[in-house]
Chains A and B, each alone.
Chain A
Amino acid sequence: MPDTPSPCLLDARQMDVHLQRLCREIVAAFGNNESLALVGIRTRGLSLAERLAVMLQEILQKEIPLGALDITLYRDDLSELAGSPIVRPTEIPFSLKGHTLVLVDDVLFTGRTIRAAMDALLDHGRPTRIWLAALVDRGGRQLPIQADFMALKLEVPLDQRVSVKVKEIDGVDGVFMETRV
């Protein structure tokens, strides 16, 4: 939780511009030939995936299937996790088979969330391939995982926290830097 004023890395308008650009990069990479689907990692990755889905549908003029993933049950540090909130359902209302998936998260840090997300996804089916989109890559990886699409790439010291806020949950859009307590 923040105890110092949070420097703003992206404001609402900049965040929207970056998401638009992410969206165009995804379109450029896949064209309209692939059967594209998005899966957002709860909670804020899902909010971003919902926005990307709307943008992609506008550009590609077709339905983009959208799923929601809660990775808690697949975490590698579950037994050390004190005070985790109630795990919410994973909702993937389409068959993964034959789809090119773009996994969407807000901040890419150690890579462990993405490892857990891939394990969870593969238990739901066998997509053709999985790409990773993150709004912010803040460095500090502990696993060999990289983003295919990202808006902002930073090297942030470990005592700093990068937090993405979204209107639906936090009442405001933006990317902020906070000091860990």
Chain B
Amino acid sequence: MPSERYLFPHRHLLGIEPLSPQDITAILDQARAFEEVCERPEIKIVPALRKRLIVNLFFENSTRTRNSFEIAEKRLSAEIINFDADTSSLSKGETLVDTAMNLESMRPDLIVMRHAAPGAHALLARHMKASIVNAGDGAHEHPTQALLDAYTLRKRFGRLEGLRIAIVGDIRNSRVVRSNLWLLTKMGAHVTLVAPPTLLPPGLRDTWPGITLSNDLDATLPSQDAVMMLRCQFERGTGAFIPSQGEYARFFQLNAARMRRCKPDVAVLHPGPINRGVEITSDVADGPNSLVLQQVTNGVPVRMAVLFLLCNPHGEQVP
């Protein structure tokens, strides 16, 4: 628990990189209060963001992230506008800044945005008075996913510091992995990235010197407290970097045989959506070690915590 004098200093959530360990702990602690709200038998809603206007601005497809944000917003009693990029003026050639200025004139309090360009959120933050939440930007960051992963791990193990966590698979195309690397290394966990050489981009250890890189999943598994499997992002061209799905699965799939190499209480995570039979088999994804559905459940209170902390003025603010 941060001390009572701690105040959350951020107005935007552009990524995990700008957050301090104390900020991360504050969001995770705050999420506990919202988990209680989400688990109430009847009225799973609080008036905390009543009369606040939140715009969901999604330029890339997303089902679970968008639904999770929308549920979080509704449980906080916010007013919601869903801005669908396909049907908007953007398809008519309007620039992002013009779209932002138009939205700004409607005086939203907060904008949740997914956009393929890594700099788009910072650009919006410079042009708008509203708080900006990054709901995914290309292969750069996806901060709320890393926060809900951390919440799930902390709930399971009671801590993040000292945990050994393997992140396995499509490192090259994953924004989840970048946010998770920032978060887990800031919180003192030991991260090992496991992937074929073609999916491990160079320079990772320049940014995160403490991490371990490996091409050998079988050798890595026995020492890990948690294994986070990443989705092979075939829509982003992962197929060009692996010989075949079958060959990939032979070396990097989490299946029953590999589970026997793990600690008996190993936690299995996956940010979804799952390619069943590629990076993970169904018996593992649905098995007793899997926290996959808990990740989805925890996404709502974690996003409520983020929205709540950003919408309410807290102390002296930094970007």
Contact = CB atoms under 8 A, between A and B. Distances in A.
Interface of A: 70, 72-74, 78-79, 81-91, 119-120, 123-125
B33 A123 contact: no
Given A73-B48, A123-B45, A123-B46, A88 B314 contact: no
A70 B34 CA distance: 11
A72 B46 CA distance: 10
A69 to B, nearest CB: 11
B306 to A, nearest CB: 13
A91 B36 CA distance: 8
Interface in B205-262: none
Contacts of A78: 48, 312
Contacts of B26: 86
B315 A82 contact: yes
B272 interface: no
A91 B35 CA distance: 11
B109 to A, nearest CB: 9
Contacts of A81: 312-313
B33 A83 contact: no
Interface stretch (B1-9, B56-64, B172-180): B1-9
A70 B42 CA distance: 18
Interface string B2-33: 10111100000000000000000010011011
A95 to B, nearest CB: 8
A85 B4 CA distance: 5
A74 B312 CA distance: 13
Contacts of B41: 125
Contacts of A88: 29, 32-33
B45 A87 contact: no
Contact of A86 (B30, B36, B51, B315): B30
B36 A89 contact: yes
B313 A86 contact: no
Nearest to B4: A85
Contact of A73 (B4, B33, B42, B52): B33
Interface string B168-202: 00000000000000000000000000000000000
Contacts of A72: 48
A87 B48 CA distance: 11
A74 B46 CA distance: 7
Interface string B128-150: 00000000000000000000000
B47 interface: yes
Contacts of B47: 73-74, 119
Contacts of A70: 33
Given A73-B48, A83-B7, A89 B35 contact: yes
25 contacts: A70-B33, A72-B48, A73-B308, A74-B46, A74-B47, A78-B312, A79-B51, A79-B52, A79-B312, A81-B312, A82-B314, A83-B314, A84-B312, A86-B2, A86-B6, A86-B30, A87-B33, A88-B32, A89-B33, A90-B33, A120-B46, A123-B42, A123-B46, A124-B40, A124-B42
Contacts of A85: 4-6
B72 to A, nearest CB: 13
Contacts of B45: 123
A86 B29 contact: yes
A87 B43 CA distance: 18
Contact of B30 (A82, A87, A91, A119): A87
A90 B40 CA distance: 10
